[in-house]
Amino acid sequence: MEAAEGKNVHILEELNRDIENLSLNLKKFIKEQVSVFKKRGVVIGVSGGIDSAVALTLCVHALGKENVYCLLLPEDESSPSSAALGAEICESLGVPYEEVSISPILRSLNIYDKKEQIIKRTCPDYDPDLHKTSLVLPDFLNQGLLNVPYIQLVKDGVPAGKYRLKANDYLELIGLQNVKQRSRMLVQYMYAEKLNYAVCGTTNKTELFLGQFVKYGDGGSDFEPLADCYKVQVYALGRLLNVNEAIMKRPPSADTWSHFTSDEEFYWRMPLEILDQLLYAQEHQLPTEVIEKNTGLSSETIEKVLIHINRIRDSTEYVRAAPPICYISR
What is the domain extent for residue 276? 270-318
If we measure between CA atoms, which residue out of 148, 149, 135 comes closest to residue 256? 135
Domain C-terminal end among 170, 190, 206: 170
Which pLDDT score, from 0 to 100, does residue 142 have? 61
Which pLDDT score, from 0 to 100, does residue 141 have? 62
What total of structural domains would you count in the chain?
2
Q: What pTM was computed for the model?
A: 0.91
In a domain, 276, yes or no: yes
**Maximum separation of any 2 CA atoms in the chain, in Å:** 66
Confidence of residue 41 (pLDDT cuts 50, 70, 90): very high
In a domain, 77, yes or no: no
In a domain, 4, yes or no: no
In a domain, 313, yes or no: yes
Kindly tell me if the per-residue pLDDT of 270 is higher than 60: yes
Which pLDDT score, from 0 to 100, does residue 121 have? 94
Give the three-class secondary structure for 134: strand
In a domain, 118, yes or no: yes
Q: What percent of the chain has pLDDT over 90?
A: 68
pLDDT in tens, 199-229: 999 999 999 998 888 999 999 999 999 999 9
In a domain, 142, yes or no: yes
Kindly tell me if the per-residue pLDDT of 54 is higher than 50: yes
Domain C-terminal end among 153, 170, 187: 170
Q: What is the distance of C-alpha 206 from the center of its chain?
A: 9
Length of the chain as a residue count: 330
Amino acid at 280: Y
Which pLDDT score, from 0 to 100, does residue 3 have? 45
Listed in sequence order, the residues at least 6 apart from 299 whose beta carbon sits closer than 8 Å to its beta carbon are 288, 289, 292
In a domain, 278, yes or no: yes
In a domain, 300, yes or no: yes
Query: What count of other Cβ atoms lies within 10 Å of the Cβ of residue 239?
Result: 13
CA distance 207 to 166: 26
Helix (H) or strand (E) holding 79: none
pLDDT in tens, 249-268: 887 777 777 777 666 666 66
Domain C-terminal end among 128, 153, 170: 170
If we measure between CA atoms, which residue out of 292, 229, 251, 272 comes closest to residue 9? 292
